[in-house]
């Protein structure tokens, strides 16, 4: 099975050496949208785009309409492009006629299936993927690693004639989170606000912190025994109407990071070592932060904190208690562990 990488897809576009068929799938919405648009832009000449570019929504288009668009001879250009968003490809995995059609697309077209919200799993749909590979490629685009996200931030800052150092860029990513759509929006806002050298103060003043970032700040305040800050952050999250279950889940994730980092460090390894065993792609900074906090806590304190979080989870799921009261008692309980 051939699944091309992001780098290979970029090279196809750069060289203008496009295949007849691309399926853009995976877990990273921003990258899928970006490359679907880049492919569509590269496939046809701007002067003849009105005649040779066809876009469909998968839930609305029929196979007959799709076939007609694919077979239509381009006007004033060597290629036509058909972009289809969210076509239910998985449902055609055992359809021999559809597979044969995909395997024999005309040379003049570039057909792009952009799986925005409708998933396509190439490893599960092996028959269909084999047919796709005869005419083109599957590009499975998932969350980038930390280094790639940093490069993306650096490039975005430079394109807007601003500057940011490595430590501040790391802090920006920690605050906003790894969602590339959100990251791009916040980066544009940040650069417009700073209009030059970007500092942590700019980020704190203008950027909307993710739930994970605020819950990390809460855990950090708890680890430092600062109840005033921890409860203020909890109040801010409730004001944002964050679901208590989502908030608790984020707190649990931070304490699990704390436990893993503590265990690694007390085994003579680095705080980032658990990234070799668990999925921290693009998020190793979480273990680095957890390692710093873990130095302030004992094993017994971390275990007791996890017990308090487990009790809060059970209360949210089964108790008639007010959700806010459950979370406030949880945070106070976590603070009591530090005394």
Tell me, what's the pLDDT at 131? 87
Backbone angles phi, psi at 31, to 5 degrees: -65, -40
Q: What is the pLDDT of residues 64-75, one digit of tens each?
A: 999 999 999 888
Alpha helices in the chain (DSSP H): 6-15, 29-43, 49-52, 63-71, 96-103, 126-135, 146-159, 166-176, 180-194, 200-206, 211-223, 227-239, 244-265, 284-294, 299-318, 323-337
Q: What is the pLDDT of residues 288-316, one digit of tens each?
A: 888 988 888 899 999 999 999 999 999 99
Stretch among 50-59, 66-75, 105-114, 274-283 having the lowest mean pLDDT: 274-283
Give the percent of the chain with pLDDT over 70: 99
| β-bridge partners, 55 | 83
pTM summary value: 0.62
CA distance 310 to 328: 14
pLDDT beyond 60 at 174: yes
67-105: string of b/e by CB count within 10 Å (b at 16+)? eebbebebeebebbbbbbbbbebeebbeeeebbebbbeb
Q: What is the pLDDT of the chain when averaged over all its residues?
A: 89
């Amino acid at each position: 099975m051939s699944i091309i990488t992001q780098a290979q897809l970029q090279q196809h576009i750069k060289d203008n050496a496009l295949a007849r068929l691309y399926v853009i799938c995976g877990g990273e919405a921003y990258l899928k949208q970006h490359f679907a648009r880049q492919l569509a832009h590269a496939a046809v000449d701007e002067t003849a785009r009105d005649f040779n570019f066809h876009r469909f929504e998968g839930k609305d288009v029929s196979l007959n309409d799709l076939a007609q668009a694919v077979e239509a001879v381009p006007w004033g250009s060597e290629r036509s492009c058909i972009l289809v968003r969210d076509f239910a490809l998985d449902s055609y995995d055992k359809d021999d006629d559809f597979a044969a059609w995909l395997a024999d697309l005309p040379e003049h077209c570039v057909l792009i299936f952009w799986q925005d919200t409708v998933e396509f799993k190439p490893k599960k749909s092996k028959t269909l993927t084999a047919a796709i590979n005869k005419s083109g490629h599957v590009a499975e685009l998932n969350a980038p690693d930390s280094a790639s996200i940093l490069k993306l931030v650096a490039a975005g800052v430079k394109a807007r004639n601003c500057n940011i150092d490595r430590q501040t860029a790391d802090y920006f990513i920690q605050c906003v989170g790894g969602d590339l759509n959100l990251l791009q929006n916040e980066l544009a806002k940040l650069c417009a606000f700073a209009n030059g050298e970007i500092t942590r103060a700019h980020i704190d003043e203008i950027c909307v912190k993710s739930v994970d970032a605020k819950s990390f700040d809460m855990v950090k305040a708890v680890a430092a025994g600062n109840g005033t800050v921890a409860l203020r952050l909890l109040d801010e999250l409730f004001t944002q109407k964050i679901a208590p279950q989502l908030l608790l889940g984020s707190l649990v994730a931070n304490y699990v990071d704390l436990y893993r980092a503590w265990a690694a460090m007390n085994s003579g390894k680095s705080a980032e070592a658990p990234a070799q065993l668990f999925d921290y792609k693009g998020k190793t900074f979480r273990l680095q932060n957890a390692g710093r906090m873990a130095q302030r806590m004992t094993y017994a304190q971390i275990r007791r904190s996890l017990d308090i979080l487990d009790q809060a989870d059970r209360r949210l799921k089964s108790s008639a208690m007010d959700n806010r009261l459950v979370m406030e008692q949880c945070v106070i309980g976590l603070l009591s562990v530090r005394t």
